[in-house]
């Protein structure tokens, strides 16, 4: 079977990629090209394999390894294939991008990075395809460890090491919960094979425990608020193409895990499961985007925006679970396709912006937006690609972000059908309003990210000396940007894929969404439904632009005079430009209860008294969850440890004393019965 060969081919390529670095370790340039080419081939295989699975049905392989814990099985059904496709597409782009970007690392342990890059891809494809609990957890751990090393790659910087350790700590807390969830299931099912876990009969109490463990466990990896604190530290620390993969793909493996649990293992749950997910989702979305907006480090901004997008994805999943509980098959289809459509979209536009940010970082050597500016003239192509990414993240039509946002809105709009009564109505209205707030904040946030980085005049010497990225990086970004536009204008392609993805899940019906005319995006729910045509709107937009052009040219040619920007008669200089901190000032003020900020103005008086003073304005943010949850927890742990220290003095006599004491107590206690 072709799909099977392709699958083996993919595993082989990634494994060869890991080994190839040992053979080429003396020549960094050769390592770069060989290792990343092999990764690219592997990703192409992954894409092909996923496509074959979509057309030919699911793929099952039994591998005779891992014998002590049972046979390790590979099973690529629709859901796995969807995520395999995602890894393949984004991985292919980042592999091409890596050719150019890795030149930065010729002197900085490139072979290690290239090998780990292949291992990272390998572990991710294994996570989404294996169908055995032990194998899943091993792959999951491998993924966490490999990404830990990649985050810690530039360990010379103290901040990176710290980020990496917070990451590994948080991800392990998550893994603990995942293992608990899996083991509870395995005990009930009496098997560690995914096939047998499906529809396991566990009592309701156990099922709820498993649900909560899965939410916490996978939520930590996905970056759900308040478990997100590792994410904005770890993602910026990794090299940019790894950040793109981590944000675009690795977070999605957690979404895969959640879908597996909710759709496959646990079956249809009570309605409050969906409600819990919805509440978490909207908190995640709003907090994520608020923190993104007030950030001025461009990669941290992108990382926080990933938190926000995970929130939007979870909104779709939560709504879908509510509909599943109420047997609303079409609406469940709309909600889950909203979630997975957004999974794909976010993978595309976030990796695109991360790659753009990497290009900026490589040529301007700073991630701080306050020092950038004017790059649209130095890096015209990168600017165009970043603009496409920014517009897609802001969910503007006709780009892909809008389609999934629209589907999410539709899913929320029909929530009152499942949650009857006033609570359902108010709840769903609030969710819609907050999603709107999130959308508008995301738009502001990416206006800031693009506008401050690329527009106006360079704010520092570094930005002035920036040059355009190399061709391979531009090709990679161009590919992804093209996909963003394509999936926006022609959503039926993705919906067809999604229909195949959900083929095995009976509670979800996508026929309403897919069996329409090619240019439509619509579904019907009884009398009502939703219906838009993005192609139609594109035509309307083009006509509008044509009218504007005709009006523009109605009086013949115009003469354009150059005149400096108006700054009240002073010669303009970059210090007058708006900064990222300034741009978000009004939002910081309004949301000051959530976003505690301390601003400090530093004044240095110049030696010449008549000339004026230098002012430095600095804003420090106190994060709500850090101050409410993590800091008290830290302090409690340290306090307990300090208390324990006074017991644990190191004196053997005292220890013998303790043992005596305990023995006496045990003796007394045992004689009483």
Partner 1 sequence: MDLFLSMMQALGLLIIAPLVAGIIKKIKARLQNRRGSSVFQVYFDLVKLLAKDSVTSPTVSWIFSVAPYIYFAGALAASSLVPIFYFSGKGFGDIFMLIYLLALGRFFLVLASLDAGSAFGGMGGAREMFIAVMVEPALLLSMCTIVFKAQTSSLGFMVSNVMNSPFSLAYIFAAIAFFIVLIAETGRIPVDNPDTHLELTMIHEGMILEYSGRKLALILWATAVKQIVMILLFVVLFLPWNIVGAASLIWLFIKVLLVAMIIAIAETSTNKMRLFKVPNFLAVSCLLSLLALVAQ
The answer to whether residue 636 forms part of the interface with partner 1 (CB under 8 A) is no
Q: CB of residue 278 vs partner 1: minimum separation in angstroms? A: 16
- Is the torsion defined by CA of 587, 589, 593, 596 positive or negative? positive
The answer to whether residue 422 forms part of the interface with partner 1 (CB under 8 A) is yes
Helices marked H in 419-508: 421-454, 461-464, 471-489, 491-501
The CA distance from 232 to 252, in Å, is: 16
Place of tokens 């390592």: 31
The CA distance from 215 to 256, in Å, is: 12
- Residue 432, token pair as written in the block: 């819609």
Q: Which of 276, 273, 277 is nearest to 326 (CA)?
A: 273
Length of the chain: 673
The CA distance from 219 to 208, in Å, is: 16
The CA distance from 248 to 310, in Å, is: 10
Position among 108, 145, 326, 455 found at the interface with partner 1 (CB under 8 A): 455
Q: CB of residue 521 vs partner 1: minimum separation in angstroms? A: 10
Q: CB of residue 328 vs partner 1: minimum separation in angstroms? A: 13
C-beta of 68 vs 563, nearer to partner 1:
563
Q: What dihedral angle (degrees, nearest 10) is formed by the CA atoms of 18, 22, 24, 27?
A: 110
- Residue 481, token pair as written in the block: 């940007």
Q: CB of residue 449 vs partner 1: minimum separation in angstroms? A: 11
C-beta of 552 vs 673, nearer to partner 1:
552
Place of tokens 């995640």: 284
The CA distance from 603 to 258, in Å, is: 52
Residues binding partner 1: number (CB under 8 A): 91
The CA distance from 205 to 417, in Å, is: 27
Position among 29, 162, 425, 639 found at the interface with partner 1 (CB under 8 A): 425
Interacting positions 184-223 with partner 1 (CB under 8 A): none
Position among 583, 595, 623, 624 found at the interface with partner 1 (CB under 8 A): 583
Q: CB of residue 559 vs partner 1: minimum separation in angstroms? A: 5
C-beta of 65 vs 568, nearer to partner 1:
568
The answer to whether residue 585 forms part of the interface with partner 1 (CB under 8 A) is yes
Interacting positions 528-547 with partner 1 (CB under 8 A): 528-533, 536-537, 539-545, 547
The CA distance from 579 to 591, in Å, is: 19
Q: CB of residue 447 vs partner 1: minimum separation in angstroms? A: 5
Position among 77, 297, 308, 577 found at the interface with partner 1 (CB under 8 A): 577
Q: CB of residue 518 vs partner 1: minimum separation in angstroms? A: 14
Give me the half-sphere count of Cα atoms (radius 13 Å) on the Cβ side of residue 98: 32
Stretch that binds partner 1, among 61-69, 113-121, 165-173, 414-422 (CB under 8 A): 414-422
The CA distance from 340 to 262, in Å, is: 14
Q: CB of residue 247 vs partner 1: minimum separation in angstroms? A: 22
The CA distance from 128 to 92, in Å, is: 17
Q: CB of residue 31 vs partner 1: minimum separation in angstroms? A: 38
Position among 26, 203, 554, 651 found at the interface with partner 1 (CB under 8 A): 554
The CA distance from 341 to 533, in Å, is: 17
Q: CB of residue 595 vs partner 1: minimum separation in angstroms? A: 13
Interacting positions 426-445 with partner 1 (CB under 8 A): 426, 428-429, 432-437, 439-441, 443-444
Q: CB of residue 415 vs partner 1: minimum separation in angstroms? A: 9
Position among 145, 279, 475, 587 found at the interface with partner 1 (CB under 8 A): 587
Q: For the chain, what is the radius of gyration of the CA atoms?
A: 27
The answer to whether residue 552 forms part of the interface with partner 1 (CB under 8 A) is yes
Q: CB of residue 311 vs partner 1: minimum separation in angstroms? A: 15
The answer to whether residue 376 forms part of the interface with partner 1 (CB under 8 A) is yes
80-99 mask for partner 1 (x: CB under 8 A)?
--------------------
The answer to whether residue 287 forms part of the interface with partner 1 (CB under 8 A) is no
Stretch that binds partner 1, among 74-82, 191-199, 391-399, 630-638 (CB under 8 A): 391-399
The answer to whether residue 305 forms part of the interface with partner 1 (CB under 8 A) is no
Helices marked H in 102-157: 110-129, 133-151
Interacting positions 456-485 with partner 1 (CB under 8 A): 456-457
What region does 556 belong to: left with phi over 0, alpha with psi -120 to 50, or beta? Answer: left
3-state secondary structure 42-101: HHHHHHHHHHHHHHHCCEEEEECCCHHHCCEEEEECHHHHHHHHHHHHHHHHHHHHHHHH
C-beta of 71 vs 533, nearer to partner 1:
533
The answer to whether residue 106 forms part of the interface with partner 1 (CB under 8 A) is no
C-beta of 327 vs 589, nearer to partner 1:
589
Cβ count near 525 (within 10 Å): 15
Instruction: Say how many Å lie between the first and final Cα of the chain, rounded.
Output: 68
Position among 19, 176, 506, 590 found at the interface with partner 1 (CB under 8 A): 590
The answer to whether residue 619 forms part of the interface with partner 1 (CB under 8 A) is no
Q: Which of 379, 426, 434, 436 is nearest to 406 (CA)?
A: 436
Cβ count near 7 (within 10 Å): 25
Place of tokens 């629209």: 406
Position among 447, 485, 621, 629 found at the interface with partner 1 (CB under 8 A): 447
Q: CB of residue 627 vs partner 1: minimum separation in angstroms? A: 24
């Amino acid at each position: 079977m072709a799909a099977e060969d392709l699958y083996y081919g993919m595993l082989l390529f990634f494994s060869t990629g890991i080994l190839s670095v040992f053979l080429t370790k003396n020549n960094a340039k050769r390592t770069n090209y060989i290792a990343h080419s092999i990764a690219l081939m592997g990703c192409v295989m992954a894409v092909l394999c996923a496509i074959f699975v979509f057309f030919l049905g699911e793929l099952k392989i039994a591998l005779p390894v891992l014998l002590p814990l049972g046979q390790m099985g590979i099973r690529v059904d629709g859901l796995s294939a969807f995520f395999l496709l995602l890894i393949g597409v984004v991985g292919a782009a980042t592999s091409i991008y890596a050719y150019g970007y890795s030149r930065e690392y010729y002197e900085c342990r490139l072979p290690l990075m290239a090998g780990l890059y292949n291992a990272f891809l390998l572990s991710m494809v294994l996570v989404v395809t294996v169908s055995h609990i032990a194998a899943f957890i091993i792959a999951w751990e491998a993924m966490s460890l490999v990404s830990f090393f990649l985050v810690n790659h530039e360990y010379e910087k103290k901040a990176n090491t710290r980020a990496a350790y917070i990451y590994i700590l948080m991800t392990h807390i998550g893994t603990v919960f995942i293992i608990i969830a899996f083991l509870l299931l395995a005990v009930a099912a009496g098997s560690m094979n995914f096939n047998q876990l499906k529809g396991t009969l566990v009592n309701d109490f156990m099922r709820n425990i498993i649900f909560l463990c899965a939410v916490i466990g996978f939520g930590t990896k996905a970056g759900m608020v308040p478990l997100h604190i590792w994410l904005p530290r770890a993602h910026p620390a990794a090299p940019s193409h790894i950040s793109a993969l981590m944000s675009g793909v690795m977070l999605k493996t957690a979404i895969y895990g959640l879908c597996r649990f909710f759709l496959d293992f646990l079956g249809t749950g009570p309605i409050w499961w969906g409600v819990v997910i919805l509440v978490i989702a909207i908190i995640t979305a709003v907090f994520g985007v608020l923190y993104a907006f007030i950030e001025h480090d461009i990669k941290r901004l992108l990382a926080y925006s990933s938190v926000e997008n995970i929130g939007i994805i979870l909104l779709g999943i939560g709504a879908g679970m509510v509909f599943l509980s109420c047997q609303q098959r079409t609406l469940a289809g709309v909600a889950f396709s909203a979630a997975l459509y957004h999974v794909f979209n976010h993978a595309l536009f976030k990796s695109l912006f991360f790659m753009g940010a990497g290009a900026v970082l490589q040529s301007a050597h700073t991630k701080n937006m306050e020092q950038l500016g004017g790059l649209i003239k130095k890096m015209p192509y990168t600017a165009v690609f970043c603009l496409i990414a920014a517009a897609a993240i802001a969910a503007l039509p006709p780009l892909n972000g809008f389609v999934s946002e629209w589907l999410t809105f539709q899913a929320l709009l029909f929530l009152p059908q499942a949650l009857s009564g006033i609570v359902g109505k108010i709840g769903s209205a609030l969710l819609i309003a907050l999603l709107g707030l999130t959308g508008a904040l995301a738009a502001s946030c990416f206006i800031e990210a693009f506008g401050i980085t690329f527009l106006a005049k360079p704010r520092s010497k570094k930005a002035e000396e920036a040059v355009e990225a190399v061709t391979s990086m531009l090709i990679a970004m161009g590919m992804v940007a093209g996909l963003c536009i394509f999936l926006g204008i022609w959503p039926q392609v993705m919906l067809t894929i999604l229909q195949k993805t959900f083929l095995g899940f009976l509670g979800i019906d996508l026929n309403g969404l897919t069996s329409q005319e090619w240019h439509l995006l619509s579904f019907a729910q009884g009398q009502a439904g939703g219906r838009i045509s993005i192609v139609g709107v594109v035509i309307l937009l083009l006509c509008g632009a044509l009218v504007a052009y005709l009006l523009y040219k109605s009086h013949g040619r115009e003469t354009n005079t150059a005149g400096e920007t108006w700054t009240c008669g002073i010669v303009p200089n970059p210090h007058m430009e708006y900064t990222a901190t300034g741009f978000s000032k009004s939002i910081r003020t309004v949301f000051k209860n959530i976003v505690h900020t301390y601003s400090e103005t530093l004044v240095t008086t110049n030696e010449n008294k008549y000339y004026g003073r230098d002012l430095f304005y600095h804003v420090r943010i106190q994060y709500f969850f850090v101050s409410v949850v993590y800091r008290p927890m830290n302090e409690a742990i340290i306090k307990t440890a300090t208390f324990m220290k006074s017991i644990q003095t190191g004196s053997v006599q005292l220890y013998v004393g303790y043992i005596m004491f305990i023995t006496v107590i045990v003796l007394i206690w045992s004689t009483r019965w």
